[in-house]
Amino acid sequence: MPVRPARDTEPHLLEEDEFLREVHSFNFWFEAVSGYLEDRPFGHDPELVDEPMDQADLDGLVTTLCNYCVGEAAALEASSGLVRLAPNHHSRIFLATQVADEARHVEVFLHRLGDLGVADPAAEVEARANPELQEFRRRLLQLVDKGDWNAAVFAQNVLLESMEDTVFRFHEMTADPVTKQVLEGVLADERRHLGFGENDLGRRLHGDADGKARLAGVRAELDPLVLGSFEAVYRDLGLARADQPELGRDYLAAVERLGLSG
């Protein structure tokens, strides 16, 4: 059994290792999720009932939730594939918690569609899915299938998570009370996933100009799909162009923190 280095041998590395062990643990995850999972079996308080909704608003909400299902299913499939590619146990354990989170997100959004009167949520998702988002999903899964850890973590935990974080936060401000509560719990998870991606890639790409250039290429390919998906969601939420928040501002900020704005 290897002898652990004394704390003063490589204090910086050891602290980072301990930090990751704590953050990428089921214990950390349980503490993070217990506050918003308890008493919310499908992401919201069962006592909370829907207010009457205008038909056009309801239709836009159904399409939006269908697209959330596409994004969440993509993250579920990709994060489970990434468990196998993970370079160490900390990352593998974190991704196992992400798999559970993403499965729950798919579940709560499908359930919400059922609440809103959609008889066959899975068929409705198929029928209403935005083509750009479907293409993003296809490309993300290709990166996983190729075994490209850096590019797949970047596409999923930075690009997709930033996109979801931006859209969900915006939607939360105007959502009906039930959807708002569902989004609150999902958002908390997405921030954790984004944090993992930024942290993992930030360490891996530090001083690696070629690695950054390669991911900048992945980003250039996926950007139009991300921005097209943003536009579709804002349109489905009934926003006039002038009222749209600056498209992808937070998405761009996350990418720039990794030095991939090139």
The reply to whether 204 sits near Fe ion by the rule CB under 5 A is: no
105 touching Fe ion, by CB under 5 A: yes
Q: Which is nearer to Fe ion, 75 or 113 (CB)?
A: 75
Binding residues for Fe ion, total number by CB under 5 A: 6
Amino acid at 6: A
Over the range 216-231, which residues count as b (16 or more CB within 10 Å of their CB) and which as e?
A: bebbeebeebbbebbb
* Distance separating alpha carbons of residues 69 and 233, to the nearest angstrom: 13
CB 41 within 8 A of CB 108: no
Stretch that binds Fe ion, among 1-9, 21-29, 110-118, 183-191 (CB under 5 A): 183-191
Of 75 and 255, the one with the shorter C-beta distance to Fe ion is: 75
Instruction: Report the site for Fe ion in 58-97 (rule: CB under 5 A).
Output: 72, 75
CA–CA separation, 240 and 207 (whole Å): 43
137 binds Fe ion per the rule CB under 5 A = no
CA end-to-end span of the chain, whole Å?
Answer: 45
Contact between 104 and Fe ion per CB under 5 A = no
CB nearer to Fe ion: give 77 or 124: 77
* Contact indicator for 73, 137 with CB cutoff of 8 Å: yes
At its nearest, how many Å lie between Fe ion and the CB of residue 102?
5
The contact set with Fe ion (CB under 5 A) reads 72, 75, 102, 105, 190, 193
